[in-house]
Amino acid sequence: MLRDVAHGAMVAHRARIVARQHHWRLRVRATSSLFSPALEPPPEASTFAPFEKKPFFAYEEIYASKRSRARVGVIRTPHGDIHTPGYVAVGTNAALKAVKHDVLREAGIDLMFANTYHLLLTPGADVVGDGFGGLHSMMGRNAPLITDSGGFQVFSLGMDADVEDDDGKSSSPRVRELKSRNKTKHKRENLLLRVDERGALFKSYRDGSKIFLTPESSVEAQKKLGADIIIPLDELPPYDISDEVLAQSVFRSHRWMARSLRAHLADVRQQAMYGVIHGGVNRELRTLSVEYLSSLPYDGLAIGGSLGRDSNELIDLLSFLMPKLPRDRPNHLLGIADVGSIERAVTLGVDTFDSCYPTQVARHGTLFTHTRGKINFRRAEFKTTLEPACYECACTLCANHSLGYLNHLDKANEPLAWTLASEHNLHFMGTKMAKIRRDILNGDI
């Protein structure tokens, strides 16, 4: 009986996905001259094995708030547990700028992000995998790692490239709109050369060599990097494009992600893969994306693409989207980790957040504090301040040094200033997330 009910629900879910896909195909065909292959549906969920929890990777919900959708949980990985809600530190080149890896453990930050795009360029995935035995070994880090597909950086390179629709027409309305809406802000060489159904061709900013990134090659690279969690290749359109062009981008991302998932499942290697939900701020497309991706055997789901113009639009989107995500798998908000957004998004059920923002602003003079709020330690008023930045903090800066000393180091252009400030903000983020978890457990969130 229960099996029949579950089968019926699955059939109905797949029918909704097909109906939504058909709706967008008709809508685009009616409003533009674009040919239908641009909206070719991705493979049906029935062509994949059903989702099953892995023995080496699982999410456990420890407590669900009765006041909101907030929850406390733990993600089990081969290299340790990730406590959620949690902040994920970004180490672009498999390193935190001017900060030792040990600081993350001291700060209570479990997961670290590394960027596949940058690691492809140097030292190369082959060097990391074959030469060092993977990122964990190369870095000397026995703790969880996540890598992205490289797509975010590739599509951030600019869109004066030869972008082709799925019918091979590089001069179609979709291509013209993508190019006109995604100009680079500064004069620099456009390194993205071509995008088509196969993948993206770009030039290395280091030596000018050409690299063709496909869903399969991105997965292959991430297999060699060996992170605990990996991300499939997706297309990243700009914010201000039409719904019709956005729909085609979502369909292409779904086709690419399905290819990525097949490549991953053919050689799992004790790695988990998160699907990336797209659709901009269009609720119909976001619904289509989350329904399709949650029907596939991804180990978790990430929320990506354009997330709105500001924090309010982000929260409005998450308020609509988060109730649609499956509760038995972890979720991740890509590229967002300012404190204000975290505090609001946690109540909506977001598990993990990544951003280089805390360490980036630290190198430019901003400290997060528990009692003073954000402060700029470069200001003249702190030149002779003998107090620490934050009495509540256990970092090296606050335990041993004054704001006046940090101000002096920065004025003298001493790299130690970047290290102390970055370590402090990482400690702040770890402490902040630990307090959020306690507040959820105590019924305050």
Catalytic machinery residues: 148, 354
The answer to whether 110 touches 80, Cβ cutoff 8 Å, is: yes
C-alpha 396/C-alpha 426 separation (Å) is: 11
DSSP-derived secondary structure letter, 128: I
3-class DSSP assignment, residue 185 = coil
Which residue in 8, 44, 19, 40 sits closest to 262, CA to CA?
Answer: 44
The answer to whether 354 touches 334, Cβ cutoff 8 Å, is: yes
The answer to whether 78 touches 68, Cβ cutoff 8 Å, is: no
Which residue in 275, 292, 175 sits closest to 233, CA to CA?
Answer: 275
Question: What would the two tokens of residue 266 be?
Answer: 């053919």
Which residue in 362, 412, 404 sits closest to 387, CA to CA?
Answer: 404
The answer to whether 288 touches 20, Cβ cutoff 8 Å, is: yes
Q: What strand order describes the sheet that includes 210-213?
A: 162-163, 192-196, 199-203, 210-213
3-class DSSP assignment, residue 354 = strand
C-alpha 429/C-alpha 70 separation (Å) is: 18
β-bridge mates for residue 366, sequence order:
376
C-alpha 248/C-alpha 257 separation (Å) is: 14
SS3 content of the chain, % helix, strand, coil (to 5): 45, 15, 40
C-alpha 361/C-alpha 338 separation (Å) is: 11
The answer to whether 204 touches 122, Cβ cutoff 8 Å, is: no
3-class DSSP assignment, residue 432 = helix
